[in-house]
Amino acid sequence: SVAPLVKAPIHMDYRLRVRVAPTAFINRGCTILDMPVGDVSFGERVNIGPNVTIISVGHSMTVDKNSKRPSRGSEVIIGECAWNGAGATLLPDVDIGCHSIIGAGSPVTKNVSGYHFVVGNQAKVMGPVGSE
């Protein structure tokens, strides 16, 4: 029987909805912030570099009547043979296509098509707080 190769230590919040293919590799320092309603899936032969963060929980941009920002779960899918470089961050509701490469330190906020290489880190102003 084949089992995923996982180098300790890694951290998972709930561990309820994380699926790892038997041929996947997860390097040390990986953090998976999952929640009971947000799946995280690792495809076959996925390679996760050290200190990668995968987040399947997000928060509303608006404040509710109790001055809180409600959280919501969203799926994160890492397709087969995808490679995530050291320190990359995958945010909620992203699908990393098969054979894609995420450069080291890159935050991923949108889907990545299969067989594509993405890299970079540039924040931009989105608008005032309270607007979706």
Question: How many Cβ atoms are within 10 Å of 105's Cβ, its own excluded?
Answer: 15
Predicted pLDDT of residue 123: 66
Whole-angstrom distance, CA of residue 82 vs CA of residue 48? 8
Local mean pLDDT, 10-residue blocks, the chain (132 residues): 92 89 98 87 98 88 72 90 97 96 95 95 72 50
Catalytic-residue membership of 99:
no
Name the active-site residue from 11, 59, 99, 116: 59
Residue 37: partners with Cβ closer than 8 Å, 6 or more residues away: 17, 72, 73
Say how far apart CA 16 and CA 109 lie, in whole Å: 23
Query: Could you give the domains of the chain?
Result: 5-109 (2.160.10.10)
Cα distances (Å, whole numbers) of residue 32 to 65, 67, 95, 112: 30, 27, 15, 19
